[in-house]
Structure 1
């Protein structure tokens, strides 16, 4: 694979410099050689969550490209002593129930691109050609035979900027787990030790689960769509506009959050676009994914490793049920129903029950997930914070939906919207939605 050349666009040449495997700096104790996946973990398919962290060359770091790579390798090796399942292997890529923590290590690829970082992003943000930034093409469902838990790649650009990418197997954890790992690894990179006083508070917290099998029956798996028919767009909603949006529904709803009102606006607009395209209203559903770490009876730390998510749905059977005030009220109501989780097993049963109902409720589902508040934009390996943290989500998603992240400058929320192409054309020209966007 070394020396393999990949063309990006017409003039961008991407070259793989090296590929190696980084192992933990100290062996995993025999007591931890088997990491059982929880019933929630096993509900997720063989998908890799792809994260890109872009770092420009701001002149403040004296390290060479080679030295940056060495720092990442050394700190990754140290971090894997704490995140030991990440250095293991799946016994099989098909519905595994545990991870073999055998210290085989994490794939680490180093590559270079002959264009400046800004040029690369201008060309490639508009098309789905970002796979080459990821180790061994571990993006979404692209690697059905892989047994790796994690892949890492550092990409050097002609300007001196870099893009660090992480590909985490979804069965080991959710977006919060990925954020915690990235923050831990970066802190070890900056401070040089997993035992530093600044690193200790972000050490992982593992929930030890019994060996179980908890996969969803095929009849309960939500049917995906043809990914080629989907379009992805980014919309930025500044805080001032979100305040205006909140004011529209505050009289009826007590202190709605920015995320609640934005999900309501996006869903309302998407349903209207689908109705306009087809010529008639179809029953629809908002599928809301919620981090439940703080919703357990005995609250879990944010560094808890795993898919600690629950899901709830808000069905819409009539056009009148898409008003902003009603949608915000329903979101608040269903989120309250998720409080007081007794166990991971209970959360898994809730999701199974929900998916059983989902097929009967609607034919149109919009998945809603929020990464707001997650510290992706603070992942500093020693050469500054990233100017952009992004997920090439179209590679991993095959359903309509919305994903929210904090805006890069801290002013507002960036929404990634995924819809069918014809509906996207209507959606992105909706006057009400655009009135709250940054133009």
Structure 2
């Protein structure tokens, strides 16, 4: 597939840079928020996303920018920890209303070329405020980029220390709803997770579940599995296997991507190899604890799925991978429902992450490993009053990471994939990837 010759970065001019504070000061009794035992497990890094709105003029932005600021100030009264500071020594958020970083820029270029799904994330990194978090950085930073030739791109970095994928999408949807309809239309978030899962004195050492190689040349692409492709994959999985449960969209897309990745490694090493994936699972609604479905914070755990060469076959079957995934997911759901108190629940999750880190970091010369995460069925297409974004993309370039989220119509799945550059070239030519996905422009 041909790559468009797009400049790595368009020149941009910073028009303004300020801190947006909550419209109403946070009450004193809410000024100190301990992080939860699960928040303790995750590193200090940002979740960086960009939302693209092509049908937008520079003239419209002056009014829209004020509206974005005002609604952000209002929504921060509900999401007040995001306007505070993380205190590492105290394992808490100082909800001091210091504010959220808000930057406005003017970009010298066209937005439309950046909407192609073959655009590498490195060509977009200048559209987000920053990618490296320090103890003095705001927990949330937003960059509104207006393009001289039309179009708006909202880049956002939010701290993973107190926010997971669910919490992030809840915030961005709440902000958009407040901007479009008013604060009274927003479902209130809950920050009660630390009371049920208080911080612990000792946390097990967990190896990273991603393999970092700073010298590696990576490539990232977005692949789209539309509703028709999902239906065809489901039919193949049911006809070929003995799966008694209807496979989900995420299960099907994960399995077909995993199969293609295994064939990439087979091409590279001359033989089929054992393979492991680590998928993330949102635990809201899957526990015996009184945890609100609207709770914010980190409430997810890994699902480990292993493919071995027990049958000594040199072939991998799609329906077999679907079955492996289904069994692992059902087993994990059962495990989540077992703990009857917060301490046992925290231990269950930390043990799962410890196992994931160990599994993905052992025998790296003999076993291939990949990380998957899903934001499917989460509100990832925020409408601030000028329609849904034409494209949403994740910016962080972590090799061997696959992120899944809904297509705009809600029927399909978009897969954001980052691989070694050579591996990506082989992956794109996999017959299943060609048959079931598209990389056409929006």
| TM class by smaller structure | 0.7 to 0.9
Residue 232 in structure 1 maps to residue 220 in structure 2: yes
Task: Spell out the pairing of 1:201-350 with structure 2 (5 A cutoff).
Answer: 202-209=187-194, 210-213=198-201, 215-217=203-205, 220-222=207-209, 224-227=211-214, 228-251=216-239, 252-254=242-244, 255-298=246-289, 300-318=291-309, 320=313, 322-339=316-333, 340=337, 342=339, 345-350=343-348
**Residue from 370, 375, 378 that aligns with 2:374:** 370
Q: Would the alpha carbon gap of residues 325 and 423 (structure 1) be closer, same or farther in structure 2, given more than 3 Å must change?
A: same
Give SS of 1:128's match.
Answer: helix
Q: Would the alpha carbon gap of residues 216 and 133 (structure 1) be closer, same or farther in structure 2, given more than 3 Å must change?
A: farther
TM superposition score normalised by structure 1: 0.86
Counterparts of 2:202 and 2:316 in 1: how far apart (Å)? 35
Residue 434 in structure 1 maps to residue 424 in structure 2: no
Counterparts of 1:122 and 1:437 in 2: how far apart (Å)? 14
Deviations 1:125-163 (A, max 9, x none): 23503232222x1x2xx3345432111111111134211
Counterparts of 2:349 and 2:291 in 1: how far apart (Å)? 19
Unaligned residue ranges in structure 1 (runs of 5+): 1-7
**Residue from 390, 406, 413 that aligns with 2:393:** 390
**Residue from 13, 23, 29 that aligns with 2:11:** 13
Counterpart of 2:61 in structure 1 is 65
Counterparts of 1:386 and 1:265 in 2: how far apart (Å)? 27
Counterparts of 1:11 and 1:433 in 2: how far apart (Å)? 29
Counterparts of 1:96 and 1:120 in 2: how far apart (Å)? 42
| Distance apart, 1:302 and its partner CA | 4.1
Are the counterparts in 2 of residues 316 and 322 from structure 1 also a CA contact under 8 Å? no
| Distance apart, 1:239 and its partner CA | 1.5
Counterparts of 1:350 and 1:74 in 2: how far apart (Å)? 42
Give SS of 1:303's match.
Answer: coil
Q: Would the alpha carbon gap of residues 337 and 413 (structure 1) be closer, same or farther in structure 2, given more than 3 Å must change?
A: same
Deviations 1:196-237 (A, max 9, x none): 2x22xx21122242343564415x333522153332122111
Q: Would the alpha carbon gap of residues 66 and 421 (structure 1) be closer, same or farther in structure 2, given more than 3 Å must change?
A: same
Counterparts of 1:150 and 1:290 in 2: how far apart (Å)? 24
Are the counterparts in 2 of residues 89 and 149 from structure 1 also a CA contact under 8 Å? yes
Counterparts of 1:223 and 1:241 in 2: how far apart (Å)? 29
Unaligned residue ranges in structure 2 (runs of 5+): 1-5
Q: Would the alpha carbon gap of residues 153 and 341 (structure 1) be closer, same or farther in structure 2, given more than 3 Å must change?
A: farther
Q: Would the alpha carbon gap of residues 122 and 400 (structure 1) be closer, same or farther in structure 2, given more than 3 Å must change?
A: closer
Are the counterparts in 1 of residues 219 and 424 from structure 2 also a CA contact under 8 Å? yes
Give SS of 1:111's match.
Answer: strand
Counterparts of 1:274 and 1:96 in 2: how far apart (Å)? 45
Residue 84 in structure 1 maps to residue 80 in structure 2: yes
The farther-off stretch of 354-363 and 306-315 is 354-363
Deviations 1:357-386 (A, max 9, x none): 342565332111111111111x11122221
Are the counterparts in 1 of residues 121 and 395 from structure 2 also a CA contact under 8 Å? no
Counterparts of 2:319 and 2:90 in 1: how far apart (Å)? 43
Q: Would the alpha carbon gap of residues 46 and 388 (structure 1) be closer, same or farther in structure 2, given more than 3 Å must change?
A: same
Q: Would the alpha carbon gap of residues 341 and 108 (structure 1) be closer, same or farther in structure 2, given more than 3 Å must change?
A: farther
**Residue from 371, 381, 385 that aligns with 2:384:** 381
Q: Would the alpha carbon gap of residues 56 and 308 (structure 1) be closer, same or farther in structure 2, given more than 3 Å must change?
A: same
Give SS of 1:434's match.
Answer: helix
Give me the CA root mean square deviation.
Answer: 2.6
Counterparts of 2:254 and 2:116 in 1: how far apart (Å)? 28
Counterparts of 2:350 and 2:55 in 1: how far apart (Å)? 47
Counterparts of 2:415 and 2:273 in 1: how far apart (Å)? 24
| Distance apart, 1:322 and its partner CA | 4.1
Give SS of 1:338's match.
Answer: helix
Counterpart of 1:97 in structure 2 is 91
Counterparts of 2:273 and 2:351 in 1: how far apart (Å)? 23
Deviations 1:44-85 (A, max 9, x none): 1111001111112268xx973222111111111111111110
| Distance apart, 1:336 and its partner CA | 1.8
Counterpart of 1:3 in structure 2 is none
Counterparts of 1:257 and 1:223 in 2: how far apart (Å)? 25
Counterparts of 2:290 and 2:269 in 1: how far apart (Å)? 45
Deviations 1:372-411 (A, max 9, x none): 111111x1112222111211131xx2x4132111123445
Counterpart of 2:3 in structure 1 is none
| Distance apart, 1:276 and its partner CA | 1.6
Are the counterparts in 1 of residues 8 and 123 from structure 2 also a CA contact under 8 Å? no
